[in-house]
Amino acid sequence: IWLNEAFATFMEVACCDAYRPDWLRWTSFSLERSMAFEVDSLASTRSVEYPVEAPEDCDGMFDVLTYQKGGSLLRMLEQYLGADLFRRGVSHYLSVHEYGNTETGDLWDAIEEVVMQGDGPAVPVRTLMDSWIWQPGYPLVRARLDGSTLVLSQQRFAYGDTDDATLFVVPVHLRIDGEEVKVLLDGDELRVALPSPDSSVVVNAGGHGFMRVSYDQTLRGRIERELPSLTILDRYNLVDDAWNEVVAGRLAAADFLTFAEGFASDRDLAVWQALAIGLRGVGRLVEGEALAAFRARVAALAAPLLADLGWAPVDG
């Protein structure tokens, strides 16, 4: 059930994007998955696929984890393999199983067979997707610097401390000094050599991976110089991930405010929606003189945007 519904969601957005790319349908879909992130962050979440033993089990599959998370996982795989290779893998699956019955794993096997026949790197598609489909939750990918090496590590995301040892096979897009690199984080830690100790890095570049990202203080400080060249989704994810770090108790609210101030020149609605959610939350944490100081900083952050928008209505 989940694959049927998730693939229909994926194709709906893909067809719309092919028809009118200026509608940025993949961007809006990625923003819509926020509810799936919230549900999947809970200890009580479920895996995308699970045994169906009664009609009531079927009903439970028609939710945000099937549609938004399931569609996002297919998009994540497509982006990591490349649209053409992914399409050929799906075509191979349909040809092999024409007029037959299948299980979810048959799709991953067919795509992996096509991948292994190509000239590109070998990708364990079945292992990768099984780690996402059969396990609940999603990863928090941490990024830190060790000299001229980027160190990536993973842990299942949770609001608060957790000793959950769940590991995912995570396809990660990196933007290093403006150049994109793809890596596969399939264990606790992965080390990636950087051109320079001063390199700037964006993890989950493009924003299509179903994960949250946490940066060390040095890397987070370097992101501001990359903001003008990042996509709307990249910038939205940076703010949204940082705020969820605050909610999870891993980032100080004051550090979030400082990070948010780097987006003063942003003029996209989605980014400011994420900023507004975070700033509203920070405002609930302070009172008295601290609240007055906080309001002054927010006013200074929003003033250029409000000046550009103006207060008089305009046509259109």
Burial 279-296 (b: 16+ CB within 10 A, else e): beebeeebeeeeeeebee
Cα(27)–Cα(16) distance, rounded to whole angstroms?
12
What's the CATH number for 2-133?
A: 1.10.390.10
Cα(244)–Cα(15) distance, rounded to whole angstroms?
32
Q: Which architecture does CATH list for 139-302? A: Sandwich (2.60)
* Structure tokens belonging to residue 17: 């994007």
- On whether the CB atoms of residues 139 and 211 are closer than 8 A, the answer is yes
Nearest to 71 by CA among 141, 154, 8, 134: 8
Q: What does the pLDDT read at residue 280? A: 97
Domain chopping of the chain, boundaries: 2-133, 139-302
* Structure tokens belonging to residue 136: 């609940």
* Structure tokens belonging to residue 209: 């991976």
Question: Angle at the Cα of 95 (from 89 to 99), degrees rounded to 5?
Answer: 135
Q: What does the pLDDT read at residue 79? A: 96
Cα(124)–Cα(121) distance, rounded to whole angstroms?
10
The percent helix, strand, coil of the chain (3-state, each to 5) is: 55, 15, 30
In 3-state terms, what secondary structure has residue 225?
helix
Cα(298)–Cα(261) distance, rounded to whole angstroms?
8
CA distance readout (Å), 182 to 5, 189, 202, 269, 314: 28, 15, 12, 29, 44
Burial 173-191 (b: 16+ CB within 10 A, else e): bbbbeeeeebbebbeeebe
Cα(218)–Cα(199) distance, rounded to whole angstroms?
10
* Structure tokens belonging to residue 295: 């309001």
In tens digits, what is the pLDDT along the chain, a chain of 316 residues? 788 899 999 999 999 999 999 999 999 998 889 899 999 999 899 999 888 788 777 777 788 999 999 999 999 999 999 999 999 999 999 999 999 999 999 999 999 999 999 877 889 999 999 999 999 999 999 999 999 999 999 999 998 777 888 999 999 999 999 999 999 999 999 999 999 999 999 999 999 999 999 999 999 999 988 898 999 999 999 999 999 999 999 999 999 999 999 999 999 999 999 999 999 999 999 999 999 999 999 999 999 999 999 888 888 7
205: how many CB neighbours lie within 10 A of its CB? 23
Cα(301)–Cα(260) distance, rounded to whole angstroms?
8
Cα(168)–Cα(170) distance, rounded to whole angstroms?
6
* Rg for the chain, CA atoms, rounded: 21
Residue with tokens 């099937």, as numbered in its chain: 66
Alpha-carbon torsion 218, 142, 76, 261, what sign?
negative
